[in-house]
């Protein structure tokens, strides 16, 4: 493959361990929403939402739930829930958030050789709060892109629009890029944009990693990594064309 110049990192559970707290907060708002719409559904939990929607942003989750259960949110209702979800999560991020194990060492090691960017489904205030809290913003500068905020209209992965937007902004082609994703929807987003994707399963419980690795491979990931310590070896294999 052509020389890799650009590494595109998903944020949630790729750079930072944010998904558990995110989906717990989402569940509370989704249950409130369902109650307000008089839906007779068992309460959602963070785990049940995560299994179905990992890799998607809250706006995308609400859109899918409306389609599944046949109710409608007005524009004002939607925007209110989106603001509340971001505000609640950012408050928790400032207190609780930790980086994914080993990723900071990788970012330090590769920052001189490659252009680094964040490409996320999540709203920009959330992404910025995450990378600021764990002192990763230094590696990315203004190269941070949000499907929920950078695009008009907003969208979510697996739509490839945010990757296409990021590459346009960076002035690079898909053949120069490698993306790192932990979810099926994120992997589909990258591969649909023509980018080779490394699937990262490190944040998942050990008993789930084999299934997640298969899901990411099925979505188009060219190689699977379960520890950031393996990143440069994995990337070297990809650059050499052996995967």
163 with 144, same domain: the answer is: yes
Residue 67 lies inside a defined structural domain of this protein? yes
Question: Domain span at residue 163?
Answer: 6-17+98-240
Work out the number of other CB atoms within 10 angstroms of the CB of residue 234: 21
d(CA 201, CA 54): 12
Please say whether the beta carbons of 82 and 59 come within 8 A.
yes
52 with 162, same domain: the answer is: no
41 with 126, same domain: the answer is: no
Residue 1 lies inside a defined structural domain of this protein? no
106 with 74, same domain: the answer is: no
Please say whether the beta carbons of 111 and 139 come within 8 A.
yes
Please say whether the beta carbons of 65 and 38 come within 8 A.
no
What b-and-e string marks burial along 77-100, b requiring 16 or more CB atoms within 10 Å of the CB? ebeebbeebbebbbeebeeebebb
54 with 121, same domain: the answer is: no
Residue 127 lies inside a defined structural domain of this protein? yes
Query: Could you write out the DSSP letters of every residue in 205-223?
Result: -HHHHHHHHHHHHHTT-SE
234 with 156, same domain: the answer is: yes
Number of folded domains in the chain?
A: 2
State residue 183 phi and psi, 5-degree precision: -125, 160
194 with 155, same domain: the answer is: yes
90 with 111, same domain: the answer is: no
89 with 117, same domain: the answer is: no
145 with 218, same domain: the answer is: yes
pLDDT category at 1 given cuts 50, 70, 90 is low
For position 60, what pLDDT does the model report?
86
For position 25, what pLDDT does the model report?
80
Percent of the chain whose predicted confidence (pLDDT) is above 70: 100
Please say whether the beta carbons of 195 and 174 come within 8 A.
yes
Domain boundary (45, 69, 96) is at 96
Residue 10 lies inside a defined structural domain of this protein? yes
Cross-strand partners of 6: 115, 177
Domain boundary (78, 96, 114) is at 96
Q: What confidence tens digit (pLDDT) does each residue in 177-202 have?
A: 999 999 999 999 999 999 999 999 99
**CATH no. for residue 106?**
3.40.50.1000
177 with 165, same domain: the answer is: yes
Kindly list the distances between the CA atom of residue 33 and the CA atoms of 10, 30, 72, 81, 237, in Å, as whole numbers in the listed order: 28, 5, 11, 9, 47
Look up the pTM and report it. Answer: 0.82
Which helix H or strand E contains 5, and what residues bound it? none
Average pLDDT of the residues of the chain: 93
Residue 218 lies inside a defined structural domain of this protein? yes
Tell me: cis bond preceding 81? Omega within 30 of 0 counts: no
Domain boundary (59, 75, 96) is at 96
Among 28-32, 88-92, 115-119, 204-208, the minimum mean pLDDT is found in 88-92
d(CA 87, CA 81): 10
**Gyration radius of the chain's alpha carbons:** 17
């Amino acid at each position: 493959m052509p020389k890799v110049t650009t590494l595109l990192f998903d944020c949630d559970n790729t750079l930072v361990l944010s998904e558990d707290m995110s989906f717990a907060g989402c569940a509370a708002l989704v249950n409130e929403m369902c109650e307000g719409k008089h839906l007779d559904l068992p309460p959602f939990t963070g785990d049940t939402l995560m299994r179905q929607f990992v890799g998607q942003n809250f706006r995308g989750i609400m859109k899918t739930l409306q389609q599944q259960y046949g109710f409608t949110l007005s524009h004002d209702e939607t925007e209110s829930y989106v603001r509340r979800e971001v505000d609640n999560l950012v408050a928790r991020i400032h207190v609780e958030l930790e980086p994914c194990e080993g990723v900071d060492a990788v970012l330090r090691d590769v920052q001189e050789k490659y252009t680094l960017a964040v490409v996320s489904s999540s709203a920009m205030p959330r992404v910025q709060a995450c990378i600021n809290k764990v002192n990763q913003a230094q590696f990315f500068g203004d190269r941070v892109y949000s499907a929920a905020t950078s695009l008009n209209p907003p969208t979510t992965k697996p739509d490839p629009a945010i990757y296409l937007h990021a590459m346009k902004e960076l002035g690079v082609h898909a053949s120069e890029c490698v993306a790192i994703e932990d979810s099926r929807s994120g992997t589909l987003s990258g591969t649909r944009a023509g980018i080779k994707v490394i699937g990262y399963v490190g944040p998942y419980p050990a008993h789930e990693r084999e299934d997640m690795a298969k899901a990411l491979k099925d979505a188009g990931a060219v190689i699977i990594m379960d520890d950031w310590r393996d990143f440069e070896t994995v990337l070297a294999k990809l650059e050499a064309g052996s995967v």
